[in-house]
Amino acid sequence: MSTLISPAELAELLDGERPVRLLDVRWRLDQPEGRPAYLDGHLPGAVYVDLDTELAERTDPSQGRHPLPSRERLQDAARRWGIDQGDLVVAYDDLHSVAAARAWWVLTRSGVPARVLDGGLRGWLTEGLPLSAGDVQPRRGDVELAEITEGVVGIDDVGEWPWRGILLDVRAPERYRGEGDSLDPVSGHIPGAVNLPTAVHTAAGRFRSPEEIRAAFAGAGVVGTAPVAAYCGSGIAATHTALAGSIAGIDVRVYPGSWSQWSRARGREVARGEHAVGHVSRL
């Protein structure tokens, strides 16, 4: 099954017989509460997803700002969204599919067939397709989720990763270099990580072609069969890189704790500046 779905393809599916559950995952660092915008207008039938409380487990700061939700928490949320066993799920947002990628990643890793609306809300509107206002509260679903065990790496794995494969830091270059303000205790990057900002994988809100994405990965040293892992600030944008990798046929594992966990862990090294020439210190 393809990872992405176009607005036209989705509109056709919604007119068909197979159940499709739409998830509105509007979230961003400067505006984490997307419900007001959702209530103003969303894809017909879409359910609002709260990324902070339903796609993350916000209990232990030492695990980072957005650690993965437990199977129980995610399953309860998925049932609230109305997902039944066998339903096709399509997630979207209004900013380059970064938040939607988080929903796609946790659901597919939990055994639920999910896709991302390429172009998101803006792509839907560009096609002249309709919106609905107000809240959608579907009948509770019966989906059964599996524990997330594949495609994920932990803090100890990441500490060894640059010497076993390619570790990608997918944040903006200035955050990778350790410049400017940080949401975390210290700024910088994991030693050995290569910067590949997740923003390079999209243009005008849509994903680039598989060939263009593969070229971007190759520019960061992702060639051959070496394992690849990605991290970001708190584990959200890294799933967008995993989504881009899926489009291009590249398996990208995700470090959910990301920099927000690494920067809080005692004894971990921190690098600043450009890759291979930066300064390294220990927390």
d(CA 172, CA 175): 5
Answer yes or no: 70 catalytic: no
279: left (phi over 0), alpha (psi -120 to 50) or beta: beta
Contact of 207 with 219, CB cutoff 8 Å = no
Model-level pTM greater than 0.85?
yes
User: Which CATH architecture group holds 155-282?
Assistant: 3-Layer(aba) Sandwich (3.40)
All CATH 3.40.250.10 domain ranges of the chain, comma separated, are 4-126, 155-282
CA of residue 278 relative to chain centroid, distance = 28
CATH superfamily assigned to domain 4-126: Rhodanese-like domain (3.40.250.10)
- Say how far apart CA 190 and CA 188 lie, in whole Å: 7
Query: Which tokens hold the place of 210?
Result: 């598989």
* Exposed / middle / buried, residue 166 (Cβ in 10 Å: 0-12, 13-18, 19+): buried
C-alpha angle 190/265/261, rounded to 5°? 70
Catalytic residue among 232, 237, 244, 247: 232
C-alpha to C-alpha distance for 178 and 188, rounded to whole angstroms: 4
| DSSP secondary structure string for all residues of 126-178 | HTT---B-S---PPP----PPP--SSB--HHHHHHGGGTSEEEE-S-HHHHHT
* pLDDT in 10s for each residue of the chain, 283 residues: 689 999 999 999 999 888 899 999 999 888 788 999 999 999 999 999 999 999 999 778 889 999 999 999 999 999 999 999 999 999 999 999 999 999 999 999 999 999 999 999 999 999 999 999 999 999 999 999 999 999 999 999 998 876 788 999 999 999 999 997 678 889 999 999 999 999 999 999 999 999 999 999 999 999 888 899 999 999 999 999 999 999 999 999 999 999 999 999 998 999 999 764 445 555 5
